[in-house]
Chain A
Amino acid sequence: MPNFPVAAQNLTRAAFNHLARLGRRSGQRSRRTMKQVRESLKEARANVRAAAAATRDASSTTRSGAIRMTRYWRRVHGRTLPRVAGDVRARVELWRVARGNGPIIVGPWLSEVGYEVLYWVPFLRWFVDYYRVDPARVVAVSRGGVSAWYGDIAREYVELLELYPPDEFAAKNRARLSNDQKQLGISGFDSEILDKVRARFGGNAAICHPSVMFRLLRQFWLGNESLDYALSYLSYRPVGTGTSVPVPPLPPDFVAMKFYSARSLAADARHRELLRGLIRRIAQRHPVVLLSTGLALDEHEDFLFADLPGVTNVAGSMRPENNLGVQTEIIRRARRFVGTCGSVAWLAPMLGTDTLAVYSDDHLLTSHLYAARHGYASMSAGRFAPLDLNALEQSDVNLSELPC
């Protein structure tokens, strides 16, 4: 007799088990699906976050790249291109001047002595070397009998103070200065001089005007061009001996001295006193020759200390048309040169004379000192020792009190 209740119970259990298994499976499936959904959502959220971050990074990179490119472009457009364009213009101009076989007028030099010595003459030396210009073609035009400075550059020299009486020259130059001390362009006075020189050497003479040099090196003086750039246009060499310069009788083993008022050495009582002490001190050791000209050809005023014992003033042996030439030859013969940092102080080391260049305000001297130090190092120059008077004062080195 089949046991129906047990069978039914078993069947029920089996069905229940089956259903339970199905329930478990579906539960597992749904949990798995839910998990997958959750993970998918998580992944989607992560992807969205990553995409947002990537977009942010990309935009930030693009932005910084754009800023960088703008900056570079501004730099290239604002500085490099004008500089390259200026360089190319100047070089083309110089190339045009150098080509052919006709005479070349270099000058007229009407600006400061310091710029002439430290930049113009080395620039012309570079010009004749670089473009292989025969010095026989070159006519230098300057003032003060400085033909020796152009000895290896120009075979001919025109003295401006032989073309004009000193007073007229000074007056015309002063009128020119109302525009700018530097010769950034060809002024009316320049043109007038050039006409006179052309009349002597031929109307087709090419002109190498100082404005080319001023345009090329101005940015260096302002601190916007590198030393490398400036030196690439300058060639420093010792200055040769001048001819037919009447040098006055000089004491043996003397110190040449030239102090004048300038922006770098103001003409105040304190400086006069300090310099007086310095000269008195030196004069106790060596005869001192003062290179005071007594001429008023520029805005600088000479400091006169001729009343001190052991000090000789050679002003009487200089004429306007040879004053710088005479000073050059005196400095060449001196054991040392001492003077205001500027003018012939830049020249003295090129003559092989040890130089003490004194200043009290270096504001406008920084780039010149920088160039001069490198220039002198590149040639067999005399020792160049710049001295800030403030350093002596602060160090309490009282020059006049130093024992003999």
Chain B
Amino acid sequence: MSLLPQAVRNLARQRQRRVAGQVKQVARQGEHGVINATKSILRRLRRPVRAISRRKALLEKQWGYFRTEWQIERELETIIARGRPLVVGPWISEVGFEALYWIPFLHWVQTAFRLDPDRLIAVSRGGVGGWYQGVASRYIEIWDLMDPVEFARRNAERGVTKQYERSPLDEDIVAAVARSLGTDEFDVLHPGLMYRLFTLYWSGHRAMGFMDAHTRFTRIDAPPLIDPALLPRDYIAVKFYAARSLPDTPEMRAQLRTLVHRLSERMPVVLLDTGLVLDDDHADYAFAGSGRIVSARPWLTPQTNLGVQTQIVAGARAFVGTCGSIAWLAPRLGVDTSALYVDPKWLHAHLAVAMRAYHKLGAGRFAAADLRAIDVLTPADASSPVRGLD
């Protein structure tokens, strides 16, 4: 009999535990339900909030680009409005950027602001006064003001190739220009302005039409700096130099050598190897000359090297070379150009500008070729980056 109350108590406890468990389960389910509902609401809210904040960030970025563009245009207007002589430069960075962007940009500035070329004084290096024809009636050679070796050393010290800001070297050159002109009553249109403006395009934030709107590509003539009789009557100008787009490897040298020799079998070749490393970090590939391969080296001095190269290219049947530097200029001289590369990573934006501009200009034909395409012609087990030309 004494077991009965015990059994009842046990049953009651069991029942109580079951009920408590059910209550807990319901509470847990309720809690989960509330949490899930809250999460769902938050998720629903989060999406538009995220979309809005993303859109806002995008608009702010766009606004920033507009402000940069407008600020640069205002700077340009302010400089020009002073009415004083304008020193454009000094150009101390890569040849390719000068040929493809800086000079067409100056042509645009000149046209847009109706500037008299007599007001402009171009400052560059390598005897490129001819490149500025129609823009500036005066040209000052940096290497007449500064020793080329000293220039190369100080330019390397800048640590950057582009001229986004005025460096001490720029200041010293401008001071030397002032001494040369006998006055410091002039304003400077520094390449930094162009670099900052065109970065908007190079970084993909502005359209190709933006470049059309801020550049004018014109045909140029090369003034004679050497006796034309020194050159063959009919020839191909070739300039291969080591760059990121055409890196210096033994295989590359071998293949380019073969290419140059093949070209020379058809027509004399004039090699534009300067033997100088003064204005940028690109070293020319040198190829041993046969009778039909002529090196331009004996005709080149630091002060005139680019000018003489320009003259040689202008007189050539065609130009073949690394995609960069003079290759961007050759079509403006009316010369058909083959620009070769194996690594287009840094070329995308420049190729687009060149292809578009030279089509419109209708001077020389600009044809770019990825040399990696040629390796389809070679054995599967070969490992060189460029093969098949031999």
Contacts and interface: CB of A to CB of B under 8 A. Distances in A.
Contact of B259 (A282, A397, A399): A397
A253 B344 contact: no
B11 interface: no
Nearest to A76: B66
A227 B353 CA distance: 13
Nearest to B265: A396
Interface in B224-277: 259, 262-263, 266
A64 B81 contact: yes
Interface of A: 60, 64, 68, 72, 219-220, 222-229, 231, 253, 255, 278, 281-282, 285-286, 335-336, 338, 354, 356, 358, 362-363, 365-367, 369-370, 373-374, 377, 383, 385-392, 394-397, 399, 402-403
Interface string B137-168: 00000000000000000000000000000000
20 contacts: A223-B209, A223-B212, A224-B207, A253-B380, A285-B379, A366-B352, A366-B356, A369-B355, A370-B208, A370-B348, A370-B352, A377-B345, A385-B373, A387-B370, A390-B365, A391-B340, A394-B367, A396-B259, A396-B266, A403-B390
Given A389-B367, A402-B390, 12 more contacts: A224-B207, A226-B206, A253-B380, A255-B376, A366-B355, A374-B204, A386-B369, A388-B367, A390-B365, A394-B336, A397-B374, A397-B389
Interface stretch (B69-77, B124-132, B293-301): B69-77
Given A369-B352, A370-B352, A374-B348, A402 B380 contact: no
Given A224-B207, A226-B204, A369-B351, A336 B376 contact: yes
Chain A CB within 10 Å, residue with most, of B212, B355, B373 = B373
Contact of A390 (B208, B336, B376, B377): B336
Interface string B368-390: 11101110111110000000111
Nearest to A387: B373
B263 A383 contact: no
Given A282-B376, A362-B355, A397-B262, A225 B207 contact: yes
B133 interface: no
B92 interface: no
A377 B13 CA distance: 70
Interface string B287-330: 00000000000000000000000000000001010000000000
Contacts of A224: 207, 209
Contact of A394 (B77, B338, B376): B338
A191 B337 CA distance: 48
B320 A394 contact: yes
Given A385-B373, A387-B369, A395-B338, A68 B390 contact: no
Contacts of A373: 344, 348
Contact of A402 (B206, B373, B377): B377
Given A64-B77, A363-B359, A402-B388, A394 B377 contact: no
Contacts of B207: 219-220, 223-227, 229
A61 to B, nearest CB: 9
A387 B367 CA distance: 8
A271 to B, nearest CB: 14
A365 B355 CA distance: 9
Nearest to B365: A390
Contacts of B259: 395-397
Nearest to A374: B348
Contacts of A386: 368-370, 373
A389 B339 CA distance: 12
Interface in B14-37: none
Chain B CB within 10 Å, residue with most, of A223, A282, A363, A365 = A223
B377 A223 contact: no
B352 A60 contact: no
A321 to B, nearest CB: 31
Contacts of B390: 402-403
Contacts of B320: 394-395
Contacts of A374: 204, 348
B263 A395 contact: yes
Contacts of A219: 207
A201 B81 CA distance: 67
A231 B356 contact: no
Given A223-B207, A385-B370, A395-B369, A356 B77 contact: no
A79 B102 CA distance: 26
A25 B336 CA distance: 90
A19 to B, nearest CB: 57
Contact of B372 (A225, A370, A385): A385
B386 to A, nearest CB: 11
Nearest to A370: B352
Chain A CB within 10 Å, residue with most, of B81, B348, B355, B369 = B369
B352 A367 contact: yes
B369 A367 contact: no
Contacts of B209: 222-224
A278 B376 CA distance: 10
A391 B369 contact: yes
Contact of A282 (B266, B365, B377): B377
B155 to A, nearest CB: 31
Chain A CB within 10 Å, residue with most, of B73, B74, B365 = B365
